[in-house]
Structure formats: structure tokens, C-alpha cells
Amino acid sequence: MGTRAKKRRASARPADAAQPAAVSKREAAERIVRVGEEVYSDIVKRRRKPSLRFPVRSLANVHYDLKRGHFEIRGRLATRTLTYGTVKTFAQSMRLLATTKRDLLDRNDIAGKREIYYNSKSWGECRFDEQPESDTLLDDMEAMLGVNREQLGYIPEERGGEVAGPLRVLDQNPVSGETVRIDCARLGSGAWSIPSRVEHLQFESRAKFILVIETASLFQRLVHHQFYEREQCVLVSMSGVPTRACRRFIRRLADAERLPVVVFTDGDPYGYCNIYRTLKVGSGQAAHINRFFCVPQARFLGVTPRDIRDYRLEDATHPLEEADIKRARDALQNDPFIRHHREWQEALKEMLELGVRIEQQAFAKHGLNFVLETYLPEKLKKRDFLP
């Protein structure tokens, strides 16, 4: 790789958006032990009601830290004190902590959320009646410990996304420990599925950037025509709002290979304020771990309201629905990320004025391959991206 390419890649990541260090299983287990010791001391030594304290997980308790590039959680805490009315929830919290340490961290094992719900059926009176109960406490535990649940051994039920292009992923056989090398450019007509846990992965790539795509159908079209060879990019399919594994994979790959990230979603408030915003800066619900899952170096390629005019797509749009209008107006008023960037405010206001939304597939009006032969090359060349 030439000097110019190295300089371009070296500038792909802001200096302050450094890769956060993952927490080891030993450190995670020690944090759980410290919580248990504090509860024990409250009861036995201090003879007072023990409490567990959790960060409040909501958009109202975050601020947009431009230097770090993601939503940071503020200081508001919720307290769960052992009382007559909370005895079951408190007991469930302690049992969940113990199960996480003993059955997952100490044994280097994994579990899904659904498995933990059913495992609690052996917990006697503190078993969970419904899965939303265990899901909520798992999120609370994650926030309290400051450790993302994948590092605790919990695996998500949803798929992580798909990858194709000039990238070799160095995975590991979980039984033998043998290194497994996956070439994402040699998978025929298919793609490599991102696993639920990605901290152990290593990368080798000759790509110039990462192109992240919302819809699976457009991703498949780009793979079918090997767009990644033409543009020397890694293609990643989100299939809607990106999963935690997908976001963490993109972040780790972008940081490891110092690659720019550009994102291509539908032109609607959901694509802007849910899909793209979540990928770039995180969410209010997960503000306590956004530093692991956000991709601050991401830039938005399209589809933008301006594209409707520039590519004569007026007759390929759809009217905004009430939910779209509400989401856009709410973002303009309350979303810290949108309120910080004038460019996004202008884009949303223009969309509201036009009263329409547009899908990625709308470019097929000009031919099935117009998106890969004309639109994407032109937008990538202009580099006129939204922040």
C-alpha cells in the first residue's frame, strides 16, 4: 500500500474516538464479587438495608459528546433498595449476578436471554414469571457493572449482519482454539455472517472504506455484481436497525484497519434517526455502553432529500406517514445528535416540507443497476456526506 493510502487511512478515525478496552472475564467476575461484598457488608456489618444503584437508561439522561463521538450517560441513578415490596426483584438481581459469574464467566460458557429466563425456573420463589422481567434485570446488571453483556457471556438472539469484500477475518474454533481464516471475498454468491461475539476477531484487509447498507436486498445486488471489487470496499448489511454485534464489528474493523465508514439507508426519519443515529452515536437506552458500540467515524451517504431532485425521483417517493412526521419533529426538538448538527436539521426540515420519504430501491426507476453503476460512484466521488 502506498504512502498516500496510508495517510488517508490514518486520518479515517478522529483522535479522540479511540477504541475502548474490552473488560476481561476476570475483571467482570471481580466486579460482581464487589457488588456481592457490598450487599453483604450492608446487611451483616452496617445492619442497614442494602441497595443496588443503576444508571438511568433513557435519552433524557444522556448528552452528545462531540469529542468522543457518541452519547454519554449523565449522572442520574436509580436505586433498588431491599424492602418488603422489592424483595423478589432484589433477590432476582442477586441470583442473576451469581449465575453470570458462576455459570458463564467462571466456566467460559455462553447463554441466550431466553435460556436465562428458563434457567430461573430452578430458582424457587425468585424465578422470573415472564421474560421481559429477566431482560430488564440483565440490562440493569450490564449498566451497573459497566460491562457489555456479550463480555459477560450473553449472546443475542438476532443475527449480527452480513459481510462481503476484500477482508479476511481471523476467527477461532471455540473448542480447539485453532485459528480459522475466513476470506469474505471468496464466498461465492453468499456472505459471511457476523457472529454474536466479535471481541476476539482479528482482521486483514486491503479495502479503502466500509460501506454499510440498510436493506438485505440491495446488499445482495452489490454482492452479486461484486461492487466491492470495483470500489475496493467492505460491504456490511445491517438489515434494519443494526444489532449490537453488527455495530461492534464495524467499530472494531474500522479502528483496526483505520477505515472510513459510509452509511446508506432509506431516506426517511426512521433511517436517519433510528438506524443511522444508533450506529453512529448510540442510543439513550444503551448510553452506559455506547462507547463500545457506536461508530463515530461513520458518515451518511444517502438517501437524502436532495437526491430526490438531483436524480429525478419525485415520482418514486411515498407520502410521509403520521409516525414519520412525529419521529422527525421529535428528533428536531429532543434528539441531542440532531440538535447539534445543522445539516441534519436542514435535511429533516426539507423532508417535512416535501412531505415524502424514499427507499433505497427507488433508483431502480433508472435501471436495476443504476444504484451501483451511477449513484454510489457519484456520491462516493463527491464525498458530500452528512455528519
Which residues fall within 8 angstroms of residue 343, CB to CB, at 6 or more apart?
A: 386, 387
* Three-class DSSP category at 219: helix
* Three-class DSSP category at 111: strand
Give the bridge partners for 53, in sequence order: 79
Q: Which long-range contacts (CB under 8 A, 24 or more apart) does 168-171 make?
A: 168/203, 168/204, 168/205, 169/201, 169/202, 169/203, 170/201, 170/202, 170/203, 170/204, 171/195, 171/200, 171/201
Give the alpha-carbon dihedral of 316, 223, 304, 251, to 10 degrees. 150
- Do 147 and 23 contact (CB within 8 A), yes or no? yes
| Omega of the bond leading into 198 within 30 degrees of 0 (cis) | no
Catalytic residue among 40, 118, 154, 228: 118
Question: Which ranges in 113-263 belong to alpha helices (H)?
Answer: 113-119, 131-145, 149-152, 216-224, 227-231, 244-257
Cα gap 187→307, rounded to integer Å: 33
- The alpha carbons of the chain give a radius of gyration, in whole angstroms, of 23
Cα gap 71→58, rounded to integer Å: 11
User: DSSP characters for 336-367?
Assistant: HHHHH-HHHHHHHHHHHHHTEEB-GGGGGGG-
Q: Which residue has the cell 415520482?
A: 315
* Three-class DSSP category at 22: coil
Angle value at C-alpha 347, between 342 and 351, nearest 5 degrees: 145
**228 labelled catalytic:** no
Nearest CA to 140 among 85, 78, 84, 49?
Answer: 78
The residues that are catalytic are 118
